[in-house]
Structures are given as structure tokens and as C-alpha cells.
Amino acid sequence: MLPTPGERPMSAGTSFAAMAGAFADRAEAAGFPAFLTPVALSNPLNATPYLLSYERFEAWAGAWPVRRRQVAALGDILRRAEAGGVSVEALFVGGSFTDTANPAPGDLDCLLLYRQADPGRVVDVAALAGLQSVARQEGVDARFIPVDGDPLVLIKTVSYFTLLYAKRKTAPDEPEVRIVRGLLLVDCQGR
């Protein structure tokens, strides 16, 4: 456990998900900021991305009609992807979707982190690309990223989307990028 100075550490038997979930509660109450504490006091548990179960993600998004529709469309995309031979392990969600001051985000920006469900079955990458197009039409900007492939590709891709999803759009003449919003890591296992 990586407690913030002054916080009481959780017991040794507490799971990572339970510890991360406690910080997600605080992050949700604060509007999912990039950091809950000053950066010098931050760590992987108390800063973005905040870990949520899929059920909790649905419940949180359900408070807003636009987000509820986008998550319903995402659920359909997940079912279709899984029928196509992949197991979506987690979602990485960001952009305006996690900006709680925005009641109607334009889309749901997310990475769908998947693995091959059946080692004997080849994943149809063209079908996943087609699903990405369908998803965009439904207000979901989804990118399929394999977790059982080259680890450098995975790390580079997640790092890129971390910055992209956490920044706020700036004016064209403003070269500075500002990290202003937190991200969600949604556990889809057992969904």
C-alpha cells in the first residue's frame, strides 16, 4: 500500500481493488481530478486513473442521460466484440466524459483493453475496426488495444491516451497542454 502521509494504511489483507476503490470514492466526490492530493503526495492509488468496477461505472454514468446512452452503446459494442472472440478485460475512459461539470459530453472516449478469448481462434482485427466505426456513430470513440501482444505497444499506447484523455482542448495559438481531468480504469472482468 502506498498511503498518503497522514492517512491510515489499510490492513495487509485489503485487496488492491478495495484500496483503489476507496480513493475512487473520494475522486468521484471531487469530480475526478487528475490528482486528489498535491502531486508530491500522490501515488498510483490516489491519482488518476481511478479504478471502478463496470457496475459502478454504469451506475455513475447513469446519473446523466447522455452518459447513460453512451454507456448503453458501449455495452452493445462490448457484447459484439466478445461474440467476435475477444475478452475485454478493462476500459480506459477519459476526455470530456469524465468531466463532471459537463452534463452532456460529445462522446465517450475509451480504450478497450482486450485479450484473445480462445487461443485457438484468430481475432478478426478487421471486424474490430468495423466495430470502432459503428461505435463512433453511437457516440463512443473506442480503440481496441490487445493486452496479450507486444508490451511496448501496450505501454506506449496507454501512455499516449493517458495524456490525450486527461488534457483540455486549448486554443490553436496556445501551445501549452494542461492536464486537468482524471481518468477511469474500469474493470470488466466478471461483467
- Name the phi and psi angles at 126, rounded to 5: -65, -40
Q: Which residue has the higher pLDDT, 121 or 77?
A: 77
Report the range of poorest mean pLDDT among 30-34, 174-178, 187-191: 174-178
6 has pLDDT over 70: no
Q: What mean pLDDT is predicted for residues 123-142? A: 94
Residue 64 is assigned to a structural domain of this protein: yes
Q: Is the pLDDT of residue 38 over 90?
A: yes
Confidence of residue 172 (pLDDT cuts 50, 70, 90): confident
Query: Mean pLDDT score of the chain, rounded to an integer?
Result: 89
User: Regarding predicted confidence, which is higher, 97 or 13?
Assistant: 97
pLDDT at residue 8 tops 50: no
Average pLDDT estimate for 49-64? 95
Rounded (10°) angle between helices 54-61 and 16-29:
10
Three-class DSSP category at 92 = strand
Give domain status of residue 46, yes or no.
Answer: no
* Rounded mean pLDDT, 107-121: 93
State the pLDDT at residue 169. 72
Residue at 37 is within a domain: no
Tell me the pTM: 0.87
pLDDT grade for 191, boundaries at 50, 70 and 90: confident
As for how many domains the chain has, the answer is 1
Q: How confident is the model at residue 15 (pLDDT cuts 50, 70, 90)?
A: confident
d(CA 53, CA 3) in angstroms, rounded, equals: 22
Find the domain containing 72 and state its range. 52-180
Q: How many CB atoms lie within 10 A of CB 10?
A: 14
In this structure, is residue 38 part of a structural domain?
Answer: no
d(C-alpha 82, C-alpha 132), whole Å: 14
The answer to whether residue 83 sits within a structural domain is yes
Residue 101 in any domain: the answer is yes
For residue 119, being part of any structural domain is answered with yes
pLDDT at position 13: 54
Residue 128 falls within a domain, yes or no? yes
Cell of 7: 492517512
Per-residue pLDDT at 166 exceeds 80: yes
